[in-house]
Structure 1
Amino acid sequence: MRFMMIVKATADSEAGVMPSQELINAMQKYNEELVKAGVLLTADGLQPSSSGLRISYPEPGGKPKLVDGPFTEAKEIIAGYTLIEVKSREEAIEWALRMPDPHGFGQGEIELRQVFEMEDIMVNPQTLAKEVELRKQVEEQKKA
């Protein structure tokens, strides 16, 4: 089972304030624990929404609409994420509870969400086989 720990943004992260060395050290220690346990798939921070854009589809069949950042409501914006693979929801919760306050100062908020597996949403065997093949190609490209 894969789970994503979504780190919510704060006013500081949206302003581009970099984490303290103490917080960087704590996050590295936490990530090392995830690696040693064999559950870490990836973990990254995201740049502020001011460097991003949103693409929306306001009308069925219509052209996409692009909106440049920054976006309002920092608490609804993602500042980073950690993707883990564990045996149960309970194990995912345990790991999420061990993550240091991702922003420090008591401002951190982490949302834990389970990732859909291919088999959960693809019931057609041909569609599933095509997806498996595409993922194999991605892995082969990473090795090249």
Structure 2
Amino acid sequence: MRVMVMVKATPESEAGQMPGSELIEAMGRFNEELVKAGIMLDGDGLKPSSKGVRVRFSGKDRTVVDGPFAETKELIAGYWIWQVQSMDEAIEWVRRCPNPMASDSEIEIRLFFEPADFGEAFTPELQKREERLRQQIESNQGTERR
């Protein structure tokens, strides 16, 4: 099963305070463990919400709202995408993670939808289209990443 592991923002991360070399090193070691174990598929840190925007949808209307956004506890400062056998395994990996922030912090783990979750609505034709898109994304990643 795939999970998204989200590092919640803190007032410090929203203020743009960068981690020190000790934390960067500790997180690097943790990421190495994840990669060696075949768990980590992707991951990165995110800049503060002051550098982001939200797009609100209302029918056919779209409204762009510039950051920063008020509720720090609802914001994400970084993420991983992991391939694990169970939620328990994901929890055990998060328990091993260094605190990703200088102050108290929180990490949220969420399951990705799998094709079977959509039932009959996810027809064989739609599944083939999805697979083609995933293959294209994989081939683009080597040339377009960063």
Q: TM-score, normalised by structure 1?
A: 0.92
Alignment of 1:47-58 (within 5 A): 47-57=47-57
Is 1:131 aligned to residue 130 of structure 2? Answer: yes
- Listed one character per residue, the Cα deviations across residues 48-82 of structure 1 (whole Å, up to 9, x for unaligned) are 0001000011x22x211100001001111100001
- d(CA) in 2 for partners of 1:41, 1:85: 7
Matched residue, 1:43: 43
**Which stretch shows the higher mean deviation, 117-126 or 2-11?**
117-126
Is 1:108 aligned to residue 105 of structure 2? Answer: yes
Q: How far 1:140 sits from its partner (Å)?
A: 2.2
Q: How far 1:120 sits from its partner (Å)?
A: 2.4
Q: TM-score, normalised by structure 2?
A: 0.90
Task: Describe the SS at the equivalent of 2:80.
Answer: strand
- The 8 Å contact of residues 119 and 128 in structure 1, kept in 2 or not, is answered as no
- d(CA) in 1 for partners of 2:95, 2:39: 15
- d(CA) in 2 for partners of 1:49, 1:142: 25
The code of the aligned residue for 1:13 comes to S
- Listed one character per residue, the Cα deviations across residues 70-100 of structure 1 (whole Å, up to 9, x for unaligned) are 1001111100001110111111111111111
Task: Describe the SS at the equivalent of 1:64.
Answer: strand
The code of the aligned residue for 1:112 comes to I
- d(CA) in 2 for partners of 1:26, 1:7: 15
Q: Give 5+ residue unaligned stretches, structure 2.
A: none
- d(CA) in 2 for partners of 1:17, 1:115: 30
The code of the aligned residue for 1:137 comes to Q
- RMSD over equivalenced CA pairs, Å: 1.3
The code of the aligned residue for 1:98 comes to R
Q: Give 5+ residue unaligned stretches, structure 1.
A: none
2:95 to 88, 94, 97: 97
- d(CA) in 2 for partners of 1:119, 1:17: 42
Instruction: Point out 4+ residue stretches in structure 1 off by more than 6 angstroms.
Output: none
User: How many percent of aligned residue pairs carry the same amino acid?
Assistant: 50
